[in-house]
Amino acid sequence: MVKAIESGISSFALLAFVANAAALPTLPARASSLSNTETSLTLLYQNNLNGSDDVNHISAILLDDFSLDDAAAACNIVNEQLLSRNAIQAHYDDFYNQLSYLAYSGRASQNQQYIINNGIVAFNQRQHCLEFKPKPYGNPCLPVLCTQSANASQPTGANATAQNEITIPAGSNTFRGYRNLKSWRFSGMPYADPPKRWQYSTVYSGKGQALDATTFGSQCAQVGGGSENCLFVNVQTPYLPKAGSKQHLKPVYFWIHGGGFNNGVGSSAGTDGGNLASREDIVVVSINYRLNTAGFFAVPGTNIMGNYGIADQQTALQWTIENIAAFGGDASQITIIGGSAGAGSVRVHLGSPPAIGKFQGAIAQSNLGGGVDLGLTGNYATSYSSYLTIEQNYDIAGQQIFQEANCTQSNLDDQIACLSKVDAVVLSELMTVANKVVQDGHYVNTEQLIVSVKNGSTAHIPVMFGTAENDGASFDNYPHSNNVTSELEGLQTELGISAYYAQSIINSGLFPYYDTGNKTLDSFNISQRIATDNQFRCVDEATVYAGAVTGAFPKAYYYQSNRAQMGYDPNGIGADPVEPGYPLGNPYAPYFRVHGSDQGWSFGNLYYFRDLYDLYSLQLESSYYAWFAKTGDPNAPLAYLQARGYDITIQGSKLSGPWLPVQGKQGPIKLLDWPSISSGFVDVPQCTFLNYTLSYYLTANRG
C-alpha cells in the first residue's frame, strides 16, 4: 500500500489558491438542476472487473474547480455531498490510483489538490502518496470530490432514480440518463427518424425535445418480437464534459452486434459497455439496426436495393460523430468493432465509400468468410466476405419470400405493395428471409474488400482481426443421431464433403487424429478445426496478411482467443466440463471455445470465473481492445498501467510480450496465446488453405 502524509498548507500554495480564486467563477449557493451545465462530471472507480468484489469498493464524482465556499453546493448538482477523508482512507489504494491516473492523463498536475469535506486531499507523485490537509485560508478554487451513492454495479441491476438521474444537452435536444457504480448510462436514444419499410434511415431530426434515455429501446423485428421503430443507440461513459465543452474527450468504442443479420440487439448484458468504459476510460456506443427481410430485402430493377441494416449502422455512426462529444467521446477517434455478422459489417464498412473517413480503427471478431474449397462452391460463411449481386440474392430470397407471405399477385409492384404491409416480425418468421449484404452500388460496390493493393476504396486505418480457437465448431455438423465408424466417415458427415476430399485431408497430415476411442468426437475434433480454418481463420489471416504486405492497412493485427466462455452452440456441445478442481467447468478442455464465446473479454464482462486466470485474462485482454481503440495499437504503455495500478495486467503483458503487427515480408504472422498468460507469443502455422485464400484476395475483382 502506498503511504499517506499529513501536512499544513504552504504559503506558496496559498498564494496559488488565491490567484486561482480570482480567475475562476463561483457557483450559486444552490445548484439549479441535476445537469452538467455548471461543471464536467467524472465518475472515479477502480474497476478490477470482478463483480463479486464490487461491494469492497466505492466510486466518487470529480467536478471542475470551485471555490471552497461553493464546493458543497457543487456536489448538490448530482445530489451528493463532499467526499470524506474517512471514505478515502478506507479505500486508499483505489483513490491513489484514480488520482494518479488523472495526473498521467493530463487532467491534473502531478501535485494536484482536491476539495473534500472539511479539508483538502493532494496527490503527491514524488512521494507516491496522498496528503490530507486542513481547509486553507482564503477561498481557493480547486477540483471537487463528491460522494457517489448509486451502488448498483451490474447493468441488469441498475435503474434510474431521482437520486442518480442526470440531464444533459446533446445536439438540439436534452437526454435524461443516470449513473450506476461505474458509468454514466444513456439508453434507447433515437439515432434515426422512425424508418419506413425498405427506405434508408436518416439521422434523427427532432429538435428541442427532452428525451428519456433511462431504458433501452425496442429490439429490431426478429423471431420472438421487436419493431421496425428500433433504431436506438446506447452510451456508457465515465465522463460528461461541461455542457458545450470539448475538453478531455475520450476514444469511442462503437459496437455492432452479431446474429447472422437475423437477430440480436445492442443492449445485451454480455456486451454492455459499462465495465470497459470504467476500466479503460473510453466511451462505449452500441446500436440496433434493422435485421432480416426488413433490413436486407432487395429486388432487381426497383428502388428496393437492400443493405438497409448496413445503412442504419452508418446512420448511427453519423449520429455518433455529431453528438458523442456531449457524452465525453471524441468523434475523431472512433473504432468500430463487431462480432460475427457485426464483424462482417465491420468488413463491409472498411470498403464502403460513405463510411470511409468516419472511423479511425476497426476490430473484426470472428468474421465469417471463405468456404470455396474442398469441392464446395460456398457455404453459410461465404456471403459475409463475398457479396452477391442483387440479382443473385433475389434468386435465393425473392419470390420465395413473396410466396411464403402469400403475396402471390401476378404483378411485381402488387407483390411489393402486399409484402410492405406484412408485419416485420411475421416477415422474420418466414422460412425464407433476406439476410445478405449485396452489391447495391452505393454502400457496397465491390464483390470483396480490396486488399490486393493500397487503394482509395479501402479504409487506410489500423485493423485487428481474430477468431475464437474453435469458431468452426458452431458451424460444423456434429452427428448426434448417428455415431460414425471411421475418421473418413466423420469428416464427410460433419463437413458435407466427398470421400475424395475427406481422404485428401487425412493424407495431408495437417490435422492429426487423436484417438480417444470415441470416433464421433475424435473426428469432430478434426472437422471443427478444418471448419474453423475454412470459414474463419483463413479468410481473416489472408485479409490481414495481404493488407499488411500491400500497405492497404497501415497496421494490422491478428489474434486467436484460446480462453472463452459460453457462445453459440447449435450442435449442443455444451459448456466446458465440470471436473475435479473446476466446479464451474474446466477452461482448458478442448472443443468449447465456440463462436462468440470470446466476446466477454472485449467488454470486461464474464458471467462467472472458473479460475483466477479468467479474471487475469479479462483484465489483460480488455486493455488490448481498449488501447487499440485509443491508438490503433493494442499495447498499453507500461507507464499507463502503472499509473492505473493495474499490476496483474503489467505481469500478464510482460509474460505475453508485445503484440507485433503482421509483417508479411519479415516473417510469420504472430498472435497472442490469450488464455495462458505465461505462454507468450507463438508462431501461427500457415493456415491450411492460406495459399488459396491469399491468392484469392490478392487477385480480387477491383470493382
**Per-domain residue ranges of the chain:** 3-148, 155-365, 450-698
- Name the band, by pLDDT with cuts 50, 70 and 90, for residue 573: confident
The C-alpha cell 500500500 sits at: 1
Examine domains 3-148 and 450-698 and report if their fold is the same. Answer: no
Cβ 390 vs Cβ 439: under 8 Å:
yes
Instruction: Note the pLDDT tens digit of each residue in 26-68.
Output: 444 333 358 899 999 999 999 999 999 999 999 999 999 999 9
Does pLDDT of 696 surpass 60? no
Residue 212: Cβ-neighbour burial (10 angstroms; 0-12, 13-18, 19+): middle
Instruction: Note the pLDDT tens digit of each residue in 271-283.
Output: 999 999 999 999 9
Question: Hey, is 64 helix, strand or coil?
Answer: strand
> How large is the average pLDDT for residues 200-224?
96
Does pLDDT of 264 surpass 90? yes
Poorest-pLDDT segment among 200-209, 215-224, 370-379: 370-379
Distance CA 273, CA 286 (A): 8
646 conformational bin, left if phi > 0, alpha if psi -120 to 50, beta if neither: beta
Instruction: Note the pLDDT tens digit of each residue in 420-432.
Output: 999 999 999 999 9
CA distances from 423 to 228, 379, 403 (A): 9, 30, 15
Helices (H), 186-340: 274-280, 292-296, 308-323
| Residues whose CB is less than 8 angstroms from the CB of residue 196 and which lie 6 or more positions away in sequence, other chains included | none
The more confidently predicted of residues 28 and 239 is 239
Beta-strand runs (E) in 360-451: 361-365, 388-389, 438-439
Does pLDDT of 601 surpass 80? yes
Distance CA 17, CA 371 (A): 68
- Name the band, by pLDDT with cuts 50, 70 and 90, for residue 127: confident
> How large is the average pLDDT for residues 182-196?
97
pLDDT of residue 210: 95
The grid cell for 35 is: 445537469
- Name the band, by pLDDT with cuts 50, 70 and 90, for residue 663: low
Does pLDDT of 650 surpass 50? yes
The more confidently predicted of residues 690 and 217 is 217
- Name the band, by pLDDT with cuts 50, 70 and 90, for residue 699: very low
Instruction: Compute the mean pLDDT over every residue in the chain, rounded to the nearest whole number.
Output: 87
CA distances from 641 to 43, 262, 280, 511, 656 (A): 19, 40, 10, 40, 15
CA distances from 540 to 91, 252, 385, 525 (A): 45, 24, 9, 21
Phi, psi at 323, each rounded to 5°: -125, -15
The more confidently predicted of residues 685 and 38 is 38
Does pLDDT of 179 surpass 50? yes
Looking at domain 155-365, its CATH class is: alpha beta
Distance CA 642, CA 650 (A): 8
Does pLDDT of 482 surpass 50? yes
CA distances from 15 to 11, 107, 131, 283, 380 (A): 6, 22, 19, 38, 71
> How large is the average pLDDT for residues 213-237?
96
Does pLDDT of 698 surpass 50? no
pLDDT of residue 377: 82
Does pLDDT of 140 surpass 80? yes
Annotate 270-286 with DSSP letters as a single string: GG-SHHHHHHHT-EEEE
Looking at domain 450-698, its CATH class is: alpha beta
Write out the H or E segment, with its range, that includes residue 178: strand 173-179
pLDDT of residue 662: 66
pLDDT of residue 33: 52
pLDDT of residue 153: 87
The more confidently predicted of residues 542 and 702 is 542
pLDDT of residue 356: 97
Does pLDDT of 671 surpass 90? no
Distance CA 17, CA 11 (A): 10
Q: How many CB atoms lie within 10 A of CB 581?
A: 8
pLDDT of residue 667: 32
Looking at the DSSP bridge assignments, the partners of residue 124 are 129
Does pLDDT of 436 surpass 80? yes
The number of angstroms, rounded, from the C-alpha of 82 to the middle of its chain's C-alpha atoms is 34
The grid cell for 328 is: 465525453
Question: First CA to last CA across the chain, in angstroms?
Answer: 61
Half-sphere exposure of 456 (CA within 13 A, CB side): 0
Does pLDDT of 17 surpass 70? no
The grid cell for 252 is: 469511442
Does pLDDT of 406 surpass 60? yes
Does pLDDT of 688 surpass 70? no
pLDDT of residue 664: 41
The C-alpha cell 475418421 sits at: 487
Does pLDDT of 691 surpass 60? no
- Residue 201: name the closest of 322, 313, 312 by CA: 312
Looking at domain 3-148, its CATH class is: alpha beta
pLDDT of residue 670: 34
> How large is the average pLDDT for residues 551-568?
91
| % residues pLDDT > 70 (the chain) | 88
- For the chain, give the number of residues: 703
| % residues pLDDT > 90 (the chain) | 71
pLDDT of residue 16: 30
pLDDT of residue 246: 95
The grid cell for 101 is: 491516473
The grid cell for 206 is: 427532432
Does pLDDT of 312 surpass 80? yes
Poorest-pLDDT segment among 48-62, 113-127, 445-459, 667-681: 667-681
Cβ 373 vs Cβ 689: under 8 Å:
yes
Does pLDDT of 315 surpass 50? yes
> How large is the average pLDDT for residues 616-620?
91
Distance CA 36, CA 78 (A): 9
Q: Looking at residue 384, what DSSP letter applies?
A: G
- Name the band, by pLDDT with cuts 50, 70 and 90, for residue 21: very low
The C-alpha cell 498472435 sits at: 671
The more confidently predicted of residues 138 and 627 is 627
Distance CA 443, CA 293 (A): 17
Q: Looking at residue 329, what DSSP letter applies?
A: E
> How large is the average pLDDT for residues 607-632?
92
- Name the band, by pLDDT with cuts 50, 70 and 90, for residue 300: very high
